[in-house]
Chains A and B, each alone.
Chain A
Amino acid sequence: MNSALKKRIGNVLSWVMTFLLMLVICVPGLWVVLTAFRPNSEVLAKPAVWIPQNFNLNNFAKIFGFGAEQVAIPVPAYFTNSLIIALTSTAIALLIGMSGGYAFARYRFRFKNGLFLGLMLSRTVPGIALSLPVFMIWSRIGLIDAKLGLIIVYVALNVPFTVWLIDGFFRQIPKEMSEAAQVDGCTRWEAFWKIEFPLAKSGIASAGIFAFLTSWNEYALASQLTRSTDSKTLPVGLMDFTAQFTIDWAGMSAMAVIIIIPALVLTFLVQKHLIAGLTFGGVKG
């Protein structure tokens, strides 16, 4: 009786704690999302308006250049840039990562550990520290304010992680399967595409999603390597709103929602594989 009561109190307590936790996680984001659908007059109102009265899509229409009112910030161009840069760099990083991950998972070779460590260490360089020399070199070879310049940097940023994750996913596939295929007359190349690639496909996809998000969200390097609508990405464009004396909170929130949506959708798709990949690669070495 006594212990049952104790257990009950414990359960209630953990639910209360969980509720509070979810509140802290969700409220900040939700508040921004709500603001995206409200006019600035309501955001700035004193005393505060708690329950939104004017719920509409005007902010989105404004930043995308529809409707009567328009903002001077070319969000559609930033959106296209972000999409092109993130997709291209992800595709390249995945190809490089697959080839590198396969090498680490399937071969023994000299300098293996050293190379792996080197790969990881290259990822520790803070973005802003890397941006200084990249800025100097890129400005000499004309890659500043070019999509290509940012794509190259993002590929390098994503390669270590994709190699690490994909290495883990290949390792989970027993070596014997591709060996059996090779005995049956496949070349190693064929065995890879017929056996190992299909099995590791979902893992590789989640590595790709992770790479996409890294590129999509990156700010420190992009803010220094881009200048105009030719190459500015959404995170850099978000700062355009604060350049003025008055901050357009509603417009900024609408833009924030545009940046968040892909992240939320992709997170939902990737969550299971990502946890598996990270823990497997880390614990089983």
Chain B
Amino acid sequence: MEPTPELIEEIDRERIRAARAMSGEEKVLLGLQLFQCTCRIIADGIRDEFPDADVRRVQEILRERLAIARRLEDTP
């Protein structure tokens, strides 16, 4: 789905403006919040795939998936 180039520019400008208005501390916090949000959604997916998994097992699989993500990032 492709928005017009003008809109992309406008949104990018808006994002850059928002990022510039944030302090370094706020940006670190946002990064942590995004990571937390990502992990919550991955964990929801793991629970959907493994309905019998307990909390500990879900955490184990989550760690495995984060390791896969790091490995894939390093793969050209």
A, B from the same assembly: no
Q: Which residues of A contact B (CB under 8 A)?
A: none
